[in-house]
Chains A and B, each alone.
Chain A
């Protein structure tokens, strides 16, 4: 069965610093990978997705993620954090469709002024 592990339940960065949120996956077949963001008291929004095209995926709000098969990783990065990036971020994996999607436990990002 497929699964994801997000390293670090809480990450804190200063405004303007690099954001790095880690995600490692496990799957028996080539996966589809996603990052979703959840702002307080809201539902999740899709940030970006990997569906076997380019390994470097660009998303909204300046975020990007790189699929590394050899490391089974799909880490999320942003060169310069903004206060508005404070939220919870979820990595997710699916094999065939959204019915089999599995979410990670989430990483809460705090941005300090």
Chain B
């Protein structure tokens, strides 16, 4: 029972390089989210999706793009990485069942931009 799987686990980029983070969930959840976690700031929502083919901006969307071509996958792209994007990135999924539906998180991707 894999749950939410994120790849890669670690990545180092140079400023200006691009990359894509992959999130896959096997729970048939409708909603998916991308967060970044920075020390002393908790988690902040980057983008989210409420269904296949739909995406929306979260709290800190600048510098990121996302795609949800298949229900089970949610991709996060960095077109031109900047040192400010050094962070730990978490993907989460949700089976929306009313107020307070729990989020199911992956184990994170640690990204360093030099």
List A residues at the B interface (Cβ < 8 Å).
9, 32, 34, 36, 41-46, 49-52, 90, 92, 94, 97-99, 101-106
The verdict on A106 contacting B107 (CB below 8 Å), with A32-B99, A43-B90, A51-B100 known, is no
Closest to B38 in A: A105
In the assembly, what is the distance between CA of A50 and CA of B100, in Å? 8
Contact B100 A44 (CB under 8 A): no
- Known interface pairs A32-B100, A43-B90, A43-B92; A99-B45 also in contact (CB < 8 Å): yes
Taking a contact as CB atoms under 8 Å apart, the answer to whether B41 and A105 are in contact is yes
| Number of chain B residues whose Cβ lies closer than 8 Å to a Cβ of chain A | 27
Residues of B within 8 A of A102 (CB): 42, 59
Cβ of B40 and Cβ of A9 under 8 Å apart?
yes
Q: What separation, in Å, do the CA atoms of A53 and B48 have in the docked complex?
A: 28
Q: Nearest Cβ distance between residue A7 and chain B, in whole angstroms?
A: 14
Given A41-B107, A43-B4, A44-B90, are A103 and B42 also a contact pair (CB < 8 Å)?
Answer: yes
Q: What is B's interface to A at a CB cutoff of 8 Å? A: 4, 31, 33, 40-45, 48, 50, 56, 58-59, 90, 92, 94, 96, 99-103, 105-108
Chain A residue nearest to B48 (CB atoms) is: A99
| Complex: A94 Cα to B101 Cα, angstroms | 11
- Shortest A50–chain B CB gap in Å is 8
Residues of A with C-beta under 8 A to B41: 105
**Residue of A9, A41, A43, A106 most packed against chain B (CB within 10 A):** A43
Query: Nearest Cβ in chain B — how far from A49, in angstroms?
Result: 5
